[in-house]
Structure 1
């Protein structure tokens, strides 16, 4: 039997319940693919569940996990696939055609990466629900570097929770980077666009994925995002900034809440102000002590790595 050309790669860590839900959704898919799991030494039964449900499971020490490095390690240690679909353990597919739909844009040989649509989890808060509906619309599009003046940094938008990559394009741009704190997906998409590849957004490829972040978690998340952009200034230099996207987001969120939920407006404005503060602060991260940055950010292990 020949090796299937599509691999679904799932990094896991202490997420047994989430992984079971994801694997159940993968079992219902109409497409043919292999499922590859890399577990970071879970202690809650995640590894045991993975081994029971999936024949291709690899284990690493939790201290060795790296957002980009671990994903690239899986690509290099699992050759023979043309396409790699990456999902996070806390996502799951919304219908049986999710995998088939996310690989469809690769029929265009110039497409190097595809981002799927994320719908909010059923228990999402109104703010978490709006975030997914705003950032992941139903309409599909294929983007090239020529779209940067119109779309700005959104040209390179992609998410590691549900995205797919052509191996040829991925390896051509050097693979997923090890040195970034997060957003290894955007880094690769931007490199592909620079190299002449296209990046697609496929609205028909749907998964469920969202976070009910606390205010503190929002701050830490946006601090890490800001660190990424501060250390990779070439992305904004090449594609431009958000171009007023932040203001459009705030207005959209208030409209989404509507008069019926007007009591939530102050909290919405405050939360967005906190995110902006975290992002602006992290733009000056080179002047901050490492211990403080570790406390301010979400991905704390990064600051103990040689890349910090």
Structure 2
């Protein structure tokens, strides 16, 4: 069968492939410790489940705004102020079917064919495939244990070229677990600030899986905030991986672009899952 070159160039998610192989081995009787999916070892909190049940009973079963219903986006904005001291309104928030879609929306909204996207390694494998889907060119920066698997300002400055459009990184990092300090984030922000056409996707989905102290956000630096897309969600911190609710906080123009992109793919995420996420906030 003849399929598009786009899909032929796209690799299967290796995370999902590893999880599938793990399940197959377990089903055959082999004892497997799976390190594939980022799955919490606790259950979705009771109040979150109760909120979903109420939403079903109250027939909250219709389309919402593509970016998520207003009260949920307002609750996310309050969470960002309460937990991270970030000032956003509902207009800056786009709720998606998981943080993976949030990242895809942002990349597809910001990257043109031929644009370079800087990604520190080790990295979450889907970053590269989504960049390729946008016809961007991944620029991989190796990191090592001697620097706690973190990108340095010097490495970033060296990697930036006239074609650079985006830096993607995560803190706490998937897969290394490294957590960036405020000083380390500021050093990165200082470099990006010198290059006015470069944006940052800051993947912070593991915010609550942090065992070394307070979580620091890239968007806390006002001089770079308008060029930062903060990605987060409820999957890891509230054991809601299967509920599929992620979100971005970004400049209104970026939020509108992501809303437009999402409107042509999935529209809003599940209304019941949105109510559950609201309870988690």
State TM-score, norm by structure 1.
Answer: 0.23
- TM-score, scaled to structure 2: 0.25
Which structure would you say has the larger RCO, counting Cα contacts within 8 Å and 6 or more residues apart?
2
